[in-house]
Amino acid sequence: MTKLTPPYLAFDPATRHLRLDPHEPAFFQNPYEAYAFLHGASNAFFWEEFGFWCFGGFDDVNRLLRDRRFGRQNPAGIPDRRGVGQDRSHLRAFDGIEANSMLELEPPVHTRLRTLVNRAFVSRQVERLRPRVEALANELIDRFEPDGTVDLLPAFAAPLPITIIAEMLGVPVEMGPQLLDWSHQMVAMYMHSRTRETEETANRAAADFADFLRSHVTERRKNPGDDLLSLLISAQEDGQKLSEDEMVSSAILLLNAGHEATVHQTGNAVRSILAQGGDPRRFFGSPEATAATVEECLRFDAPLHMFARYAYQELEVAPGIVVQPGQTIGLLLGMANHDPRAFAEPPAFRPDRADQKNVSFGAGIHFCIGAPLARLELQVSLKTLFDRQPKLHLAEQPRFRDTYHFHGLEKLAVGF
């Protein structure tokens, strides 16, 4: 049975056109109400505010993430969806970073970049970081204010992943706040309805970020260490090395991706677990239980809700939906994770569910390269937090930021 239409959206079943402002508070505070309606009405729809077809069924999203007839690299040669012919001279630094980012490239260049970078992110390498992540989580908890209240986002969720990725790359950890600022300013480019001011700020951040990393690359060439920058400098595949531009873009991608989603997912996970009531330690009673809890957090309230791809040929994506070369499609990861055709009782938080799976890290050749690191950070940090603070509770009702694309909280004030 189709659910009642939420009052903030309009859906035409004949054309499968959706009108839904992603900045509507009722939506970005709880997108799952709209998703539940759309699962009943149509898993595929033309989202007018974005101007392209979107897919929210689990099977469709999983299939289209792997379909090589789509990709991240714009066939028109423009790094994003602004369209051909628009002046981008004010985005020269930002576009220079994007042009060499493995996230925005397709084979064969993507394959070469990913192969060179992936060595640092395989599970056995990441597992070595477990003691450091646990020690850092404990250090951060030790710093909580003695009055018994704290905003977990700046005090715990943000410094942990940025510290780990900075240490991995071999850049100064004390630069963490500056790296976060640059990252936030750059990822704002992917938001709906960005402004010229947003673009100019992102371009300045990209230029400053690149200059900072080039100086560290120069230093590492002279004095190699056992850090990721040194590894990227020395790594070769079939006699090929990363160019300096590719190295800078890869490092920026790893720094941005290495904390942005993990910060959101940590906040979302704490909120989800506290909403269950009772002693939170019950979700972390064994390594297996901890891993299952993190997977359910990833499914239940993912940090990234839309992943866009370009069509490389004319094709019928779904019955009655034909896209042309260069057109964008939107894959709704958060909606796919709540598909009732793929999950029993999708709104229920059940780490022990038999149908445990998610598309929060993507799939196919662009599957998140940092997924093993993110999983380890979440498993260790959440278990440590609730072991140390089992009486953790919300000090105020958290609210999500007006950034539908990146689904994360404004703050997470808790008492303990």
pLDDT 10s digits, 203-230? 999 999 999 999 999 999 899 988 888 8
| pLDDT score, position 1 | 43
Q: Minimum mean pLDDT among 255-269, 371-385, 402-416: which range?
A: 255-269
| pLDDT score, position 397 | 97
Antiparallel, parallel or unpaired: β 306-311 and 315-318: unpaired
| pLDDT score, position 80 | 56
Q: Average of pLDDT values for 319-345?
A: 97
- Residue 236's pLDDT band, with cuts at 50, 70 and 90, is low
Helical axes 109-118 vs 244-257, angle rounded to 10°:
60
Helical axes 371-388 vs 159-169, angle rounded to 10°:
140
Nearest one of 164, 182, 112 to 377, comparing CA atoms: 164
Q: Average of pLDDT values for 234-250?
A: 79
pLDDT 10s digits, 45-75? 999 999 999 999 999 999 999 999 999 888 7
| pLDDT score, position 405 | 87
253 against 266, higher pLDDT: 266
Q: Is the pLDDT assigned to residue 409 strictly greater than 80? A: yes
8 Å CB contact between 300 and 267: no
- Residue 340's pLDDT band, with cuts at 50, 70 and 90, is very high
- Residue 77's pLDDT band, with cuts at 50, 70 and 90, is low
8 Å CB contact between 10 and 46: no
| pLDDT score, position 119 | 73
Q: Is the pLDDT assigned to residue 82 strictly greater than 60? A: no
Instruction: Report the DSSP beta bridge partners of residue 398.
Output: none
Q: Minimum mean pLDDT among 50-54, 175-179, 349-353: which range?
A: 175-179
Domains of the chain: residue spans and CATH: 10-415 (1.10.630.10)
Mean pLDDT value across the chain: 91
48 against 246, higher pLDDT: 48
% residues pLDDT > 70 (the chain):
95
pLDDT 10s digits, 134-158? 999 999 999 998 888 999 999 999 9
Q: Average of pLDDT values for 223-248?
A: 82
- Residue 81's pLDDT band, with cuts at 50, 70 and 90, is very low
pTM: 0.92
| pLDDT score, position 122 | 76
| pLDDT score, position 64 | 97
Rounded (10°) CA dihedral 208, 212, 213, 216 = 170
Amino acid at 218: T
pLDDT 10s digits, 104-140? 888 888 888 888 788 777 777 889 999 999 999 999 9
